[in-house]
Chain A
Amino acid sequence: MNQTLRSEIFIPSHLKYFILDGEFKILDYSENLESFSEIPQEFGLGKDARLSFPELIGLEKILLEILQGKRNQFKFQGISRTLNNENLVYLDLIFEKMGSHAIALIEDITAMMNLNQTLFQQVNENGLVIAELTTNKDYINKIISSMGNVLFVTTRSGKIKTVNQAAKQLFQYREEELIGLSIAEIISDREELLAGDRQKLLAGEAIEEIEVKCRTKQGRNLIVGFSCSVIQTEKKIPAFIYIGRDITEQKRAEAEIEKALVKEKELNDLKSRFISMTSHEFRNPLSSILMSVELLENFGDRWPEEKKSKHLKRIKQSTDTMTRLLEDILTIGRAEAGKLEVKPIKLNLEEFCRELVEEFQLTAGEKYQIQLQCSTDLDSIPMDEKLLRHIFSNLLSNAIKYSPDGGIIDFTAMKIASTGTNGEREKVKFTVRDRGIGIPPQDRSRLFEHFHRAKNVQDIAGTGLGLSIVKKAVDLYEGIISFTSEIGVGTTFHVVLPIIGDR
């Protein structure tokens, strides 16, 4: 040891040191110092200290400043080193001027740094966890608030704890109104979801997309598809998660499609009914004609006149029936093709009605009593006789047909005045009232459709076209038809037709 070199300063015994010249050459060092160097075999008197203490690399300027007295001290704190490949130590390295040389003092601060490490390890680890949590929370919050689906989190009893933007929007509440509210205030029709289902949920089952009726704050009804599940919070308290989708519109659209499908099916039924109906309606008279013709052909020369005329009459009747049916079908066809028009000409309406009544009274027989009642001012009114005939022959014939036990049939016609959008307009109001079997409520809405026949007609013959023709004619006239009916009591049809001037 070179006593003279370090005589100028006092060095505490727990410090190690080495002494350098301006070129980092090691001039002196304390005992066992090499064990603190990074590369002990490079350490030794006269050697460049930077080889064994690599932290000195880059300190050339600093060393110069110290030697020149421009800097008092320079200190590296906490340089870590693994000694003998196993012990981690921390050193402080302090440089000071000593005479014309520099001294590097080394203090082992491992104990303090280990303490530091433990402390910062905890602090920093927490910092990382918090950072991750905040990012996750941010992320999750953003997802929750931006998701289109409604989100509720409730307690076991159904008290709302968390909501998202979509929930506020859909149910028209403010957040502070929703928090603490019972979810039953929102879900109106499914008690189980609120209570019973919670047991299911607690058992670990999830509820997927069940439809529930909900209401907004203003009481508007919504249909929402909810999926529910339970999560356990960190305190082991279950939280009930409801995620819902507003399906009100979808349901409405579905219902409409359903309705359209039913309609479509009915239309199909109608078509097949039309075909079976027409073939059936034609087949009967046709086969009876055929039969009569064959009989006449084979036995005509042998039969008495009386029997022959009976068959001829049957042929004529069947032909009439077919003609009527054909006419009905043609009328409907014409109306649907838009070929039917209203052509009013001056008409004695009272006379027209009377003739119609007489005609029907004749065919109906004595079981029926058709009573006509007309106002006195109907002797010269422009009306389309053909359309009137379509309307009232069908209504009267129905009145007779659907009163199998006979009875009184009232037919009335009277002029009325009513105020329409384009001023005063004169109209004629007709009613046809029977005391027949009535129309069952379920058939009333579809009464005017082709071939629709009420469920209670049993074996009363009919084409199912009569009322369609009536409706078409009334519509063409821009008139109004309505009816009141009671099962077993009778039916009254009201027809209001405007009086259209001569054209």
Chain B
Amino acid sequence: MTVISKKMCMLGDFGVGKTSLIRRFVERQFSDRYLSTVGVKISRKTVHLKDVQTEKEQELKLLIWDIEGHTKFKSISPAYLQGSSGVLVVADLTRQETIDHLGDRIQEYREINPHGQVAIALNKSDLLEEEEVLEMKNKLNLPEAILGVYNTSAKTGNNVDTIFQELAYKLWLTNC
């Protein structure tokens, strides 16, 4: 069985928890300390996938690009997005403006990768009550069809494996 490698990106405003989500997924750790990412950092993790219908199995090496957060003063270099098969667009449930920016981030990504897979993580769900999270999710108004919207928490690990696994599975199936 050959290992497939796929590039995926993390996009979102500064401080929404992109680095933390990767850290949780790859190193199974979390820290409350905020260390702002500049430039980009690539992490790797191999996930095991199985197609329930065909019983086919696959090892997929995810190259996760942790890209510096978008801020008022700086947009990210589009080159980072080049050649990626999917993207996890992250927002912070406790900061409405990061949710409002989701549409822009998706747009940015789609300009480079029109066929890339897009999943959305509404992160820091641990800071809100479950019903509040649901309400936020229902309020969400996204312009186009996307893979899925997940409320995640890098702190508790809630949905973190799920969202990466789902995205990886999709990347494998669509092979983009």
By a beta-carbon cutoff of 8 Å, the part of chain A in contact with chain B is 38, 50, 54-55, 57-62, 74-80, 90, 113, 116-117, 120-121, 123-125, 127-128, 131-132, 135
Contact = CB atoms under 8 A, between A and B. Distances in A.
Contacts of B85: 58
B143 to A, nearest CB: 24
Contacts of B95: 131, 135
Given A57-B7, A113-B38, A113-B39, A123 B83 contact: no
B12 interface: no
A80 B7 contact: no
B156 interface: no
Given A58-B82, A135-B95, A121 B39 contact: no
Nearest to A55: B42
24 contacts: A55-B63, A57-B5, A58-B7, A58-B63, A58-B83, A62-B82, A62-B83, A76-B40, A76-B79, A77-B39, A77-B79, A78-B40, A79-B41, A80-B39, A116-B38, A117-B36, A117-B38, A123-B71, A124-B14, A124-B69, A125-B36, A127-B72, A128-B34, A135-B94
B15 A54 contact: no
Contact of B73 (A59, A75, A76, A123): A123
Contacts of A124: 14-15, 34, 36, 69, 71
Size range of the chain B interface in the assembly: 20 to 34
B77 interface: yes
Nearest to B34: A125
B44 interface: yes
B153 interface: no
A132 B95 CA distance: 8
B125 interface: no
Contacts of B74: 120
Contacts, number: 87
A88 B79 CA distance: 22
Contacts of A61: 83
Interface of B: 5-7, 14-15, 34-36, 38-42, 44, 63, 68-69, 71-74, 77, 79-80, 82-85, 94-95, 97
A50 B72 CA distance: 34
Contacts of B5: 50, 54, 57
B43 to A, nearest CB: 10
Contacts of A54: 5, 42, 44, 63
A77 B74 CA distance: 14
A150 B7 CA distance: 58
Contact of A57 (B15, B38, B72, B83): B83
Contacts of B35: 121
B15 A128 contact: yes
A59 B82 contact: yes
A62 B79 CA distance: 10
Contacts of A128: 14-15, 34
Contacts of A60: 83
Given A57-B6, A58-B82, A121-B36, 12 more contacts: A57-B63, A60-B83, A75-B79, A76-B77, A76-B79, A79-B39, A80-B38, A90-B39, A125-B34, A127-B71, A128-B34, A131-B97
Contacts of B41: 79-80
Nearest to B8: A58
